[in-house]
Structures are given as structure tokens and as C-alpha cells.
């Protein structure tokens, strides 16, 4: 009784291939722009293992993951370099592994890593106006000194999404490379950035004469949404007469219709968030999913039957949902699939179907 992610295989692979090949460096060949695919969390709906295999098939040299705990999963399918995006902290395992590149954002973490030996590879994250993680420019000389026993693979910049930050990126990069020239161990002229367009990345590469590694997840794997469809298998259908009761809450039918039980519930991350246009509905769906059963009026479900989004008969359960089909609607058969709108980054599907 699966919730299935159907992939239009040729279309999806073509999009991924185009995105990976998309950025080019400045025309004069002084620096290169390269896409580093990112997978983390639920693997953007596909799973980290699957995306690691795709990255391996695409022959990219580096794959980025969110946390050090995700390295092992992608390693089974991908044997290139793995960049960990979350900055290293004392509780992270830091065993020497030549094909793992760690992001480090504090001087004390660089020192600890250096003390562990083995010349681990690191990217130094610089503090940007986002003020999330990063070594402040003032602390960079100290950080670079601590890096003597390490292999530095360049500087990372995590910029805010709002506003224009090209000038900020250039200025930080210039100052960081200058500091590396003075204090540093050998630091390649290489930047690791996120959320820049290919054109912005090329501009950054040209102005700083640095190679730019563009870390991309959503736009790569989910950039062509028409190549992806989530479908829920119909598990059961029950005709209901006006006045009949149904569900945990024994709600009473106000007219004749059908209760359809479909795959996809809170355990899959389905209906935690309903489709985008209806914010009010979405908030209600969230409240429902959190157990506000009494308070529930009715909520529009993310399931589509006979061309229309249908109401929940009652709030979703762990592995399935009950939806209400009014009389007159063509009732699907057990085993049919119905479309379901999902947010891929929070959904765990049961199966992946490679179509086409």
C-alpha cells in the first residue's frame, strides 16, 4: 500500500545533467565554476542513497551532505569526496578520512582537528551577514595559523537569500585570500558558495580569480517539478449512507458518499502541509495533524480524485488517510493510484518508480 514517487526518468535525468553542466567559468579561462550536488535530510524526497548513486553516475568529484552522520549512507554509493556542510563541532566524529572534507567555522574546532593528526581536509567557513556560522575576518589570522597541520580546501560563504550579496562575497573572499597569503598554510584560490545563480557565480569567479564551487540541492533535484509526481495507492473504499458514522471520531455523514482510504499519512509527512495556495487550509491541516481532532472542521486534503482536491473524511493517520468522496464522483478502485501534492523535502515515500 505504497505512497510512490514517480520519476519521469529521461526528463529528470536530463534536467540534472543540464544543471550539473550549466555553470561555466569566466570566458578567459582564469577560473572555473563547478556544481557540487547536495543531499541531506530525507534526500529531497528521493533518499540520500539514491541521490548519492545519481551523483556517482554523473561522475561528479564531490558530493555535499548536511551532517557528518550522513556521510556513511552516501559513501555506500559514492566514492568521491564528501563535503560536510554543517560546521564541525566537538561532538562530531573526526576520524581521519581522506575523502571527507569538513566545514569548520571556529578556531577552537580547527585546533582540535589539528591535534587529532592525520592532516584532515577542511573548508573554512567565513562569517557573513547571515551571522549563522563562520570565522569572523578579525579571527582569520588565528584560524589560519591553527590550520598549519591541516589541508585547507578553500573558503565557504553562506549568504542570505534576501538582497544582493555579490559585493559582500567578493570583499570577504579578497580579504580571506589576502590573509591566507600572509599567515597561511597553502590555501587554494577556491570558494564554496550556495544560492548563487550560474551568472552570479561566474561573476564572482571572474572578479576574485577563484574557482567557485556552487552547492546546489533543490534547484538540481527538484528544479523540474513536472518530472516528478507523487501518487497514493487506494487501499480501501466504503460506500456510506447519510447518517452513517465513520472513523476514529465516529463523525456522521451528512449525505451519501464514499470514504476512500489512501496510502499516505503523517508517518510519510503527508498532510502536515497541504498544497500551497490555501494558507488557511494549510494551517488547519497542520493543526489537524497535530491532533486537534475536535477543533477540526473539515480540511482540504492534498489528494486529488477525479480531477479535484478532496476533503479529509477525518484527520490523517500514521500510514494512511481517509478522504471523503461525495456521491456522484467516480470512485477509484482498490489498487488505483491517485495524485497527491507533497512537499518533497518533508515526505518519505514508500517506493520510487522509475517511469519512462
Which residues within the stretch 298-337 sit at the binding site for ligand PLP (CB under 6 A)? none
**Does residue number 218 form part of the binding site for ligand PLP (CB under 6 A)?**
yes
Minimum CB–partner distance for residue 219 and ligand PLP (Å): 6
Sign of CA dihedral 325, 327, 332, 333: positive
* Span of 18-26, 71-79, 215-223, 304-312 interacting with ligand PLP by CB under 6 A: 215-223
Q: Per CB under 6 A, does 4 bind ligand PLP?
A: no
325: number of CA atoms within 13 Å, CB side?
A: 24
* Residue 224 CB, nearest approach to ligand PLP (Å): 14
- How far apart, in whole angstroms, are the C-alpha atoms of residue 185 and residue 62? 23
Please identify which residue in 105, 194, 229, 233 interacts with ligand PLP, judged by CB under 6 A: 194
Considering the complex, state which of residue 40 and residue 268 has its C-beta at the smaller distance from ligand PLP.
Answer: 40
Q: Taking CB under 6 A as the criterion, which residues in 231-250 touch ligand PLP?
A: none
Q: Cβ 216 to ligand PLP, closest distance in Å?
A: 5
Asked if 216 touches ligand PLP (CB under 6 A), the answer is yes
Burial tier of 185 (Cβ tally within 10 Å: 0-12, 13-18, 19+): middle
Size of the site for ligand PLP (CB under 6 A): 10
- What DSSP state is assigned to residue 27? T
Q: Which is nearer to ligand PLP, 197 or 218 (CB)?
A: 218
| Interface with ligand PLP (CB under 6 A), residue from 111, 158, 165, 282 | 158
Contacts of 30 by beta carbon, 8 Å cutoff, 6+ apart:
205, 206, 209
Beta carbons of 193 and 212 less than 8 angstroms apart: yes
The rounded distance, in Å, linking the Cα atoms of 345 and 35 is 20
* Site stretch for ligand PLP (CB under 6 A), options 70-78, 143-151, 214-222, 287-295: 214-222
Single out the residue of 33, 38, 180, 205 in contact with ligand PLP (rule: CB under 6 A): 38
Nearer to ligand PLP, 100 or 240 (CB): 100
| Cα–Cα distance for residue pair 78/307, rounded to 1 Å | 41
Asked if 15 interacts with ligand PLP (CB under 6 A), we say no
Q: Is 214 in the site for ligand PLP (CB under 6 A)?
A: no
| Residue 125 near residue 104 (C-beta atoms within 8 A) | yes
User: Minimal CB distance to ligand PLP: which residue?
Assistant: 217
Is 6 or 158 the residue whose CB approaches ligand PLP more closely?
158
Shortest spacing between CB 218 and ligand PLP, in angstroms? 4
Taking the chain, what is the end-to-end CA distance rounded to the nearest angstrom? 22
The residues, ordered by sequence, that sit 6+ positions from 41 with a Cβ below 8 Å of its Cβ are 48, 66, 345
Give min distance, CB of 336 to ligand PLP, in A. 33
Q: Identify the helix (H) or strand (E) that includes residue 204.
A: helix 198-208
Asked whether position 50 contacts ligand PLP by CB under 6 A, the answer is no
The pairing of strands 81-84 and 62-65 is parallel
Integer CA distances (angstroms), 353 to 3, 5, 41, 230, 302, in order:
10, 6, 20, 10, 20
Of 85, 201, 228, 305, the one binding ligand PLP by CB under 6 A: 85
Distance CA 16, CA 9 (A): 11
Minimum CB distance to ligand PLP, residue 130 (Å):
10
Q: Contact residues for ligand PLP (CB under 6 A)? A: 38, 40, 85, 158, 194, 215-219
Amino acid at each position: 500500500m505504497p505512497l510512490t514517487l514517480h520519476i519521469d526518468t529521461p526528463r529528470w535525468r536530463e534536467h540534472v545533467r543540464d544543471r550539473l553542466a550549466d555553470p561555466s567559468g569566466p570566458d578567459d579561462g582564469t577560473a572555473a565554476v563547478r556544481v557540487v550536488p547536495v543531499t541531506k535530510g530525507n534526500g529531497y524526497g528521493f533518499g540520500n542513497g539514491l541521490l548519492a548513486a545519481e551523483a556517482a553516475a554523473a561522475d561528479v568529484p564531490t558530493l555535499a551532505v548536511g551532517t557528518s552522520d550522513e556521510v556513511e549512507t552516501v559513501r555506500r554509493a559514492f566514492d568521491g569526496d564528501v563535503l560536510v556542510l554543517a560546521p564541525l563541532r566537538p561532538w562530531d566524529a573526526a576520524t581521519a578520512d581522506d575523502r571527507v572534507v569538513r566545514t569548520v567555522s571556529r578556531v577552537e574546532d580547527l585546533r582540535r582537528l589539528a591535534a587529532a593528526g592525520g592532516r584532515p581536509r577542511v573548508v573554512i567557513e567565513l562569517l557573513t551577514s547571515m551571522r549563522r556560522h563562520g570565522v569572523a575576518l578579525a579571527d582569520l589570522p588565528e584560524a589560519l595559523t591553527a590550520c598549519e597541520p591541516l589541508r585547507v580546501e578553500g573558503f565557504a560563504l553562506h549568504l542570505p537569500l534576501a538582497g544582493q550579496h555579490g559585493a559582500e562575497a567578493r570583499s570577504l573572499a579578497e580579504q580571506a585570500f589576502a590573509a591566507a597569503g600572509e599567515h597561511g598554510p597553502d590555501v587554494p584560490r577556491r570558494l564554496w558558495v550556495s544560492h548563487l545563480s550560474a551568472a552570479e557565480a561566474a561573476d564572482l569567479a571572474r572578479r576574485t580569480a577563484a574557482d567557485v564551487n556552487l552547492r546546489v540541492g533543490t534547484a538540481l533535484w527538484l528544479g523540474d517539478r513536472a518530472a516528478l509526481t507523487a501518487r497514493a495507492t487506494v487501499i480501501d473504499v466504503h460506500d456510506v449512507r447519510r447518517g452513517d458514522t465513520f472513523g476514529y471520531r465516529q463523525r456522521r455523514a451528512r449525505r451519501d458518499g464514499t470514504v476512500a482510504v489512501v496510502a499516505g499519512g503523517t508517518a510519510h509527512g503527508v498532510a502536515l502541509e497541504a498544497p500551497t495556495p490555501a494558507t488557511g487550509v494549510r494551517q488547519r491541516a497542520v493543526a489537524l495533524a497535530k491532533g486537534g481532532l475536535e477543533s477540526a472542521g473539515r480540511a482540504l486534503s492534498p489528494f486529488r480524485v477525479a480531477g479535484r482536491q478532496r476533503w479529509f473524511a477525518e484527520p490523517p493517520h500514521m500510514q494512511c488517510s481517509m478522504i471523503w468522496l461525495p456521491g456522484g464522483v467516480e470512485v477509484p478502485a482498490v489498487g488505483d493510484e491517485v495524485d497527491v501534492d507533497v512537499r518533497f523535502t518533508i515526505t518519505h515515500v514508500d517506493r520510487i518508480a522509475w517511469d519512462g
